[in-house]
Amino acid sequence: MKKQDQGFDRSALLLHPRWSLNRETIEQIAAEGFTNVGCTLIGLAPDDIEGFSVERARELARLTEQVGLGLCVFTGYMKYRELLLKKEPSRAAIIMGAEQRMDSDGLPSRWLCPFRPENKKLYLSELMEVAGWPATREVHLNDEAAL
């Protein structure tokens, strides 16, 4: 078995695609010695919040591959789906009373129900797409994925 390189990976986490999803930023990250770029996958994220929609993450994967960097993707499992829940509120999980629903960070949250087949299918579809991008080196699942 070939001995693995004992070097360190350095990842630059990008939060706001509006400001960071451009070739200049990605090239600067590479020039500063980072080996990876990280992003949080937010599903159907609008441009004015933290996190990357699948489309924007796909674009980031393309850019990172072009400059020789890897991509680390943090997924929210059934979290961060506010736009979908506005369209289809019946897909929401009922965790506690409506006034008490909190996420693991202690913030009010609405999640997709992890037991509904269409929600599982959506998440698995996104994971499979992310795993298929050539630049992808890591995919992180939130702890909630243990449900």
Residues 4-33 have a mean pLDDT of 90
Concatenated DSSP letters of 37-105? EEEEEEES--TTSSSEEHHHHHHHHHHHHHTT-EEEEEE-TT-S-HHHHHH-GGGB---S-GGG-B-TT
Flag whether pLDDT at 124 surpasses 50: yes
If you compute the radius of gyration of the chain from its CA atoms, what whole number of angstroms results? 17
Ranking 2-11, 23-32, 49-58 by mean pLDDT, the lowest is 2-11
The pTM (predicted TM-score) of the whole model is: 0.81
Residues 2-15 have a mean pLDDT of 77
In the DSSP assignment, the letter for residue 8 is P
Q: How many residues does the chain have?
A: 147
Flag whether pLDDT at 18 surpasses 70: yes
- Residue-wise pLDDT tens digits, 88-103: 999 988 776 655 556 6
- 13 vs 5, 34, 113, 130, CA distance in Å? 23, 10, 28, 17
Q: Which tokens hold the place of 102?
A: 């909190």
Residues 26-44 have a mean pLDDT of 91
**Selection from 76, 58, 75 nearest residue 21 by Cα:** 58
What is the rounded CA–CA span in Å between residue 27 and residue 14?
A: 13
- Residue-wise pLDDT tens digits, 47-61: 556 789 889 999 999
